[in-house]
Amino acid sequence: MSGAVHLTVDLDRCIGIGQCEMLEPEVFRLDDEDGISRVVDGATLDRARAAEVVERCPSMAISIVEDSPSG
């Protein structure tokens, strides 16, 4: 898992489109109650893939946690 990073979802920006959950079902899960995306506890993604998921969130709600472990 070289270059694995943590991600976070801005709960005010997320409008529950679910693109993230479709791309990375192991990492993102839309909450059954409020429909908003949450990062699964402890889940990480390879940095390049994380960057793609960030880019493809239509509501720009996902970001990489920059102090996440690099390695």
Partner 1 sequence: MTGTIVERPDLADPATYDHGIPHAAFRDLRAMPGLVWNPSGPWGSGFWSVTRLDDLVAVSRDPMTYSSELGHIQIYDVDEDVRAVRASMIDLDPPVHTRLRRLISSAFTPRHVQGYVEDIRGRVRSRLDSFVEAGGGDWVSAVAAPIPIGVICDIMGIPEEDHDLMIEMTDHLVEGTSSAELDPGAYGNTRPLRELPFNSPAAHGVEEYARNARRQRLDNPTGDLLSELATAEVDGERLSETEYARFFQLMIFAGNETTRSAMSHLATHLVRHAEQFDRVRSDPTLLDAAVEEVVRHASPILYFRRTATIDTTLAGTDVAAGEKVVMWYASANFDEAHFADPMGFDVGRPKVPGHVAFGGGGAHFCLGASLARMELSALISEVLDRGLRLEPAGDPVLVSSNFVNGVERLEMTVVAGG
Beta-strand relationship, 7-9 and 4-5: unpaired
The rounded distance, in Å, linking the Cα atoms of 66 and 19 is 22
- Which phi-psi region, left, alpha or beta, contains residue 3 (left: φ > 0; alpha: ψ -120 to 50)? left
- Which among 2-10, 40-48, 55-63 is the span making contact with partner 1, rule CB under 8 A? 55-63
**Which CB atom, from 59 or from 71, has the smaller least distance to partner 1?**
59
Q: Is 54 in the site for partner 1 (CB under 8 A)?
A: no
What is the nearest approach in angstroms of partner 1 to the Cβ of residue 61? 10
What is the nearest approach in angstroms of partner 1 to the Cβ of residue 40? 14
